[in-house]
Structure 1
Amino acid sequence: MKVAVVGAGAIGAYVGAALHRGGADVHLIARGAHLAAMQENGVQVLSPRGDFTARVHATDDPASIGPVDYVFLGLKANSYAACGPLVHPLLGGDTAVVAAQNGIPWWYFHGLAGPYEGRRIESVDPGGSVSEVLPPERAVGCVVYAATQLQGPGVVQHLEGTRFSIGEPDTTDSSRCEAFSEAMQAGGLKCPVEADIRNDIWIKLLGNIAFNPLSALSRATMAQICRHQDTRALVATMMRETLAVAEAVGCRPDISVERRLAGAERVGDHKTSTLQDLESGKPMELDVLLAAVVELAALTRTPVPKLCAIHAVTDLLAQTVRSAA
């Protein structure tokens, strides 16, 4: 199996190192000091499950790799529309794209029987710009439950979790999902093939849609948001509104709001990725987390007043940050 990881940051390099350890032919695409370190020393993984080094081929030139069986996307979703030059040289006739993104994916209604089948979600696929680069029929859904961070160039700190749930957008069984799952398991990761990956998407989104924007607005950690009585109540309301939207588009994730809140509080004084992006001057990944759900709420005529209010304020924040930059 030949796999290219586009965006070999903390998650991408971790997955690439694990696949390489399991025997796959892996190629990492990165840049800068991180690329130079991986080329010289391989990917060094520091993990409570055991440290290891994977001497994986790393490059900034996807054309030197050629077509692969799988492209694993480790990029932020707001980079997808511009990733054509990185991805297109890797695509063969049957290449699958495993998109490890948070939030609502661009392929969400692809192959989904019902009144919205094939519908484009404008906030995550504006004008079809993502679908043009990443055709939905190539997509394999992926929800990441692992936490990693770059400790330094070429050094990945694995914090917790090894689960990467995958599934076909049309909910069918497929040989490409089974093969990828087996390769991930051979590398020491959990990779269940879900009958409907959308359930996992909404379960993870339930936390992201509340904590990520609120952390950016308040500069607070997840535990601080949970311990503050009024913001905890706001999170619960945003989660309930999100579940209503999920049900309106035909998905009923089996998770309670209180259980999701308790799990977030156990994470402790952790800064969300959105707050980290804000503090480091990077674009915030809120379109797929919040704007998409507000769009789906409007589509299904589902009242979401708290989500709309938080979306308005965070959208203004994003505009202000862009103007200042």
Structure 2
Amino acid sequence: MRVAVLGAGAIGAYVGAGLHRAGVEVHLIARGAHLRAIRTSGLKVLSARGDFEVHPYATDNPEEVGPVDHVFLGLKANQYAAAGPMVKPLLHDTTTLITAQNGIPYWYFHGLPGPLRDRRIESVDPGGTVSRALPVRRAVGCVVYAATEIEQPGVIRHLEGTRFSIGEPDGTTSVRCKEFSAAMVAGGLKCPIEPDLRDDIWIKLMGNIAFNPISALSRATMASICRHREARELVVRMMTETLEVASALGCTPRISIERRLAGAERAGEHKTSTLQDLEKGKPLELDVIVKAVVELADLADVQVPTLRAIGAVADLLNEQLTAA
């Protein structure tokens, strides 16, 4: 089995390292100092579960890799629309795209029974740019429950979690999912195939939709937000509205708001990915997290005043950042 990891950053490289350890032919597509370090000294993973080192193929040119069986997308969702030229050399007729992203995925309504079947979500797939770059028929969803960071070029620090839940948009248990899941498990990672992956999407989204924009607006860590009474109440309102949208669309995430908050508190003084991007001057990955849920709320006729207000201010922040 041949796998390419497009965007071999903290999460992508961690997945690639696990797959390589399982004996999979892995090609990491990275850039800059990180790529140079991997080529020179290999890829090191530091973890409480045990440190290890691998030496996978690494390049910044997908043309050198050629067609593979699975492409793990380690990109931010706001990079998907521009990824077409990088993805194209990696495809054969049945290549799978493992779409490991935060928020609402571009394939959300693909194959979903009901009046919204195959509907395109404009805030996620504006003008169809993403679905043209990454054909929906190739997509397998992936919800990431692992936390990692690049400690230094070529070195990944695994912080917590090893679960990468995957699933077909139509809910079937496909051969391609079984193949990828088995390789992940062989590499020491958890990779359950979920027939109701959309429930997992909403569970993770409950945290992202509240903590990510609030952290960017306040520069606060997750624990700091939880400790602040009014901010905590704001998080609860945002999570409540999110669950109302999920319910209106037929999803019932199996987790309570208090349990979700407890998990955030356990993360401690952790900076969300959105806050980290803000500090680095990068565009904020908020359209698929906040704006998409507001769009879905309008489709489902659900009132989300808190999400709408926070989303507007966060979007203004993002505009100021990208204009600078």
Q: Give TM-score, length-normalised by structure 1.
A: 0.99
CA drift of 1:267 comes to: 1.0
Aligned AA (1:222)? M
Counterpart for residue 94 of structure 2 = 94
Once the two structures are superposed, residues 185-228 of structure 1 have per-residue CA deviations (whole angstroms, 9 ceiling, x without a partner) of: 00000000011110110000000000000011111111111111
CA drift of 1:32 comes to: 0.9
Q: Distance in 1 between matches of 2:276 and 2:104?
A: 20
Residues 1:60 and 2:42 aligned together: no
Counterpart for residue 107 of structure 2 = 107
Aligned AA (1:4)? A
Aligned AA (1:55)? H
Aligned AA (1:214)? I
The two structures, once aligned, show a CA RMSD in angstroms of 0.6
Residues 1:172 and 2:172 aligned together: yes
CA drift of 1:42 comes to: 1.2
Counterpart for residue 204 of structure 1 = 204
Q: Distance in 1 between matches of 2:104 and 2:48?
A: 31
CA drift of 1:270 comes to: 0.9
Aligned-partner SS, 2:93: strand
Q: Give the share of equivalent positions with the same residue, in percent.
A: 69
Q: How many residues align?
A: 324
What are structure 1's unaligned runs of at least 5 residues? none
Once the two structures are superposed, residues 145-175 of structure 1 have per-residue CA deviations (whole angstroms, 9 ceiling, x without a partner) of: 0110001111100111110000000001101
Aligned-partner SS, 1:83: helix
What are structure 2's unaligned runs of at least 5 residues? none
Counterpart for residue 36 of structure 1 = 36
Aligned AA (2:322)? R
Q: Distance in 2 between matches of 1:135 and 1:36?
A: 31
Q: How does 1:157-236 map to 2 (within 5 A)?
A: 157-236=157-236
Q: Distance in 1 between matches of 2:268 and 2:151?
A: 20
Residues 1:282 and 2:301 aligned together: no
Once the two structures are superposed, residues 35-62 of structure 1 have per-residue CA deviations (whole angstroms, 9 ceiling, x without a partner) of: 1111111111111111111100001111
Once the two structures are superposed, residues 230-261 of structure 1 have per-residue CA deviations (whole angstroms, 9 ceiling, x without a partner) of: 11011001001000001111111111111111
CA drift of 1:125 comes to: 0.3
Aligned-partner SS, 1:143: strand
Residues 1:4 and 2:8 aligned together: no
Q: Distance in 2 between matches of 1:82 and 1:271?
A: 27
Q: Distance in 2 between matches of 1:262 and 1:13?
A: 29
Q: How does 1:112-191 map to 2 (within 5 A)?
A: 112-191=112-191
Aligned AA (1:255)? I
Q: Distance in 1 between matches of 2:99 and 2:160?
A: 20
Q: Distance in 2 between matches of 1:50 and 1:174?
A: 32
Aligned AA (1:90)? L
Once the two structures are superposed, residues 99-143 of structure 1 have per-residue CA deviations (whole angstroms, 9 ceiling, x without a partner) of: 110100000000111110000000010000000010111000000
Aligned-partner SS, 2:122: coil
Aligned-partner SS, 2:109: coil
Aligned AA (2:86)? L
Residues 1:257 and 2:257 aligned together: yes
Q: Give TM-score, length-normalised by structure 2.
A: 0.99
Aligned AA (2:297)? A
Counterpart for residue 50 of structure 1 = 50
CA drift of 1:262 comes to: 1.2
Aligned-partner SS, 2:3: strand
